[in-house]
Amino acid sequence: MSDAFSTHPEHALDHPELEAILEQAKAGPSSASLGDGAAGMSVEDTFEVEESVRRILEGGYKTIGLQFPDELLPTSVSVYRAIQTRIGHTGAQAYVLADSTYGNCCPDILSCLHLPADFLVHYGHACLTPTDALPIHYVFPRKKLDVGHAFGALSKTSEEDVQDGKKGVIVVWDVAYDWLASSIAETFTKESTIPITFAHINKPTAAPPKTDEKGKAPALRSVEPPEGLALTDCILWYIGEEGRSSMNLQMTHAYNSLYLYSPTSQTTSPLHRTTSRLLSRRLFALHQALSSDVFGLIVSNIGLSSSRPLLAQLRADLRRAQKKSYTLSVGRLNPAKLANFVEIECFVLVGCNEGGVVDSKEFLRPIITPWELSLALQGEGHEWAPEKWTLDLGKVLEGESVFPSAGLWTDEPTDAKAKADEDDDKSETQSNHSTSSDEAPKFSLITGTYRTKKRFNDESAGPASTNQIESGIQDLTLRNQTFSLSKLESAGSSFLASREFKGLEVRYGMDEPSLLEEGRSGVARGYTEEK
């Protein structure tokens, strides 16, 4: 028989990708997945097995999650066995976590809660967003770096900025080069002729980081200028490949010169020259948010330390602005998931330091950050300040709420509640004066048409303060400056009224009832009546 139009039967047993994974697992840790800095090292040394076991035994943990990214899964069995054999005598049990719910850079808290786990070891790249759900031990990749060449290349590229008056340097590196932190600090400090500081990574201890009264947790890495200098007087040096980490650093420090050194190609490039283009996209998304009335708050990761208090503050701000809000948790984002929520006009992503910006044209609706939402709620007259742009949820909590009494997510003393009541009265008076102007049609730069601002009264979310409970009857008799009744919209009904297709036609009492008949039976290849 000719094989021109068929394959050998053995082809069903061949799987090139699976064979490559099996060969990689047999070979042990490889430089392709763990970084070339791990070449020649054992599994125990590369994955810090002894340090992980020490933390587990000292903390008395019984259920341990081992989170691996996709590229490290071939070695997960070896790491699991190395850890389990050392902790098995205490009754502890380790579990391998793969295919994370949100992203590989974040601890998969949701999977840990399903176990439930009381300790997590996170392997691979990390975004270093504070998490307070459970103690976490980070094991970073190891990549090689020519420290001397990196300093020489960065110094030569940034000579012009130093001559223009820059007085200091801040060095930031990818987590894959954190194992060389001491060598980087020693070499750069010795060779530098101007003040220099380093953004060291502070790995969390056995206990989760404690949050302050606002819900903010201490950062695992902070970018601070040299002593006696302002941040605007410094140059930023980043060691690593271009990606989400460098983009976050680039946009957070928009007014600083940022130079990236790629250890792979051993070249440097100025990233600050493209910052304006990135911020222009965010400004466009902000203008779309200004024209939106229904918002969807997307919880990117339930374990982020500042996510819950920030969500409460954002919901309160949207309620005070008479916007409609929905809270969503959809796991990993993709256009198909968000397209199901067609009534939502703008999404707000409460995410980590690296996954908090979604700048893809495939999504039907704009996706903005919490800081951008707080700016949009302040109106068109507020100034756009790129130097304040941030993905740090803690910094957004530190900033003043759009409505001073909106951030009532904790129990307040009596004096604070009294002050909040006064603020409510003031804001109500101000809103009555501005109602007539809010109801006037406004021209949208995004759609090119006039739009009338919708006003929603969210009763299901509950009042934001005691004063709203006492004066709840006022919600039914809102009046504007001209003493005409104001229209309170319903997000569901208003969207349904604007749709062309509203579902199947309901024909109650219009058709005669039919008799119940026996249907087909059997399988598709041969129903009973066909035999």
- pLDDT tens digits for 452-497? 777 776 444 444 444 444 444 344 444 455 555 555 556 666 666 7
Residue range 151-174: average pLDDT?
Answer: 89
Residues whose CB falls within 8 Å of the CB of residue 475, separated by 6 or more in sequence, listed in order: 457, 459, 468
Which of helix, strand or coil describes residue 35? coil
Residue range 63-73: average pLDDT?
Answer: 91
Q: Can you say whether residue 327 is alpha, beta or left, with left for phi > 0 and alpha for psi between -120 and 50 degrees?
A: beta
Output 524 or 63, whichever has higher pLDDT: 63
Residue range 96-101: average pLDDT?
Answer: 83
**Which DSSP letter does residue 522 get?**
E
Q: Which amino acid is at 390?
A: T
Contact 325, 318 (CB under 8 A): yes
Tokens linked to 400:
């003043």
Contact 68, 76 (CB under 8 A): yes
Q: What is the pLDDT of residue 153?
A: 93
What is d(CA 218, CA 211) in angstroms, rounded to the nearest whole number? 7
β-partners of residue 327 are 297
Whether the CA torsion 501, 506, 511, 515 is positive or negative: it is: positive
Instruction: Label the pairing between strands 346-350 and 294-299.
Output: parallel
Contact 424, 432 (CB under 8 A): no
Is the pLDDT reported for residue 74 higher than 80?
Answer: yes
In this structure, of 155-164, 194-203, 483-492, the range with the lowest mean pLDDT score is 483-492
Residues whose CB falls within 8 Å of the CB of residue 58, separated by 6 or more in sequence, listed in order: 206
What is d(CA 397, CA 100) in angstroms, rounded to the nearest whole number? 27
What is d(CA 208, CA 25) in angstroms, rounded to the nearest whole number? 33
Length of the chain: 531
Percent of the chain with pLDDT strictly greater than 90: 30
Residue range 417-442: average pLDDT?
Answer: 54
Is the pLDDT reported for residue 437 higher than 60?
Answer: no
Going along the chain from its start, the domains and CATH numbers come out as 24-139 (3.40.50.11840), 147-270 (3.40.50.11850), 278-419+440-500 (3.40.50.11860)
Instruction: Label the pairing between strands 346-350 and 367-368.
Output: parallel
Hey, how many other C-beta atoms are within 10 angstroms of the C-beta on 464? Answer: 22
What is d(CA 110, CA 129) in angstroms, rounded to the nearest whole number? 16
Percent of the chain with pLDDT strictly greater than 70: 73
β-partners of residue 86 are none
Residue range 135-146: average pLDDT?
Answer: 92
Contact 296, 347 (CB under 8 A): yes
Candidate ranges 13-22, 53-62, 155-164, 265-274; pick with highest mean pLDDT: 53-62
Q: What is the pLDDT of residue 423?
A: 53
Contact 377, 368 (CB under 8 A): no
Query: Can you tell me which residue has the tokens 């250890």?
Result: 263
Residues whose CB falls within 8 Å of the CB of residue 491, separated by 6 or more in sequence, listed in order: 294, 324, 343, 456
Q: What is the pLDDT of residue 325?
A: 92
Is the pLDDT reported for residue 215 higher than 60?
Answer: no
Strand order through the sheet with 136-139: 93-97, 63-67, 119-123, 136-139
Output 1 or 350, whichever has higher pLDDT: 350
Instruction: Label the pairing between strands 442-443 and 450-451.
Output: antiparallel
Residue range 236-241: average pLDDT?
Answer: 94
Q: Can you say whether residue 8 is alpha, beta or left, with left for phi > 0 and alpha for psi between -120 and 50 degrees?
A: beta
Tokens linked to 14:
């061949």
Is the pLDDT reported for residue 118 higher than 50?
Answer: yes
Nearest to 27 by CA among 70, 78, 66, 62: 78
CA dihedral 121, 126, 128, 131 (to 10 degrees): -40
Residue range 422-449: average pLDDT?
Answer: 60
Residue range 418-438: average pLDDT?
Answer: 51
**Which DSSP letter does residue 97 get?**
E
Reported confidence tier of residue 159, pLDDT bands at 50, 70, 90: confident
What is d(CA 31, CA 28) in angstroms, rounded to the nearest whole number? 10
- pLDDT tens digits for 300-345? 888 788 888 899 999 999 999 889 999 998 888 889 999 989 889 9
In this structure, of 346-355, 390-399, 440-449, 485-494, the range with the lowest mean pLDDT score is 485-494
- pLDDT tens digits for 370-383? 999 998 888 776 77
**Which DSSP letter does residue 396 get?**
H
Contact 169, 194 (CB under 8 A): yes
The distance of Cα 463 from the centroid of its chain, to the nearest Å, equals 28
Residues whose CB falls within 8 Å of the CB of residue 278, separated by 6 or more in sequence, listed in order: 247, 250, 251, 359
Is the pLDDT reported for residue 219 higher than 80?
Answer: no
Tokens linked to 98:
């793969």
DSSP string, 228-280: T--GGGEEEEEES-SSHHHHHHHHHTTTS-EEEEETTTTEEEE-GGGHHHHHH
Exposed / middle / buried, residue 292 (Cβ in 10 Å: 0-12, 13-18, 19+): buried
Q: Is the pTM of this model over 0.95?
A: no
Nearest to 196 by CA among 221, 175, 166: 166
Q: What is the pLDDT of residue 409?
A: 36
Query: Using alpha carbons only, what angle is made at residue 303 by residues 80 and 223, rounded to the nearest 5 degrees?
Result: 95
Q: What is the pLDDT of residue 123?
A: 94
- Indicate the average pLDDT of the chain: 79
Tokens linked to 107:
């601890």
What is d(CA 48, CA 344) in angstroms, rounded to the nearest whole number? 46
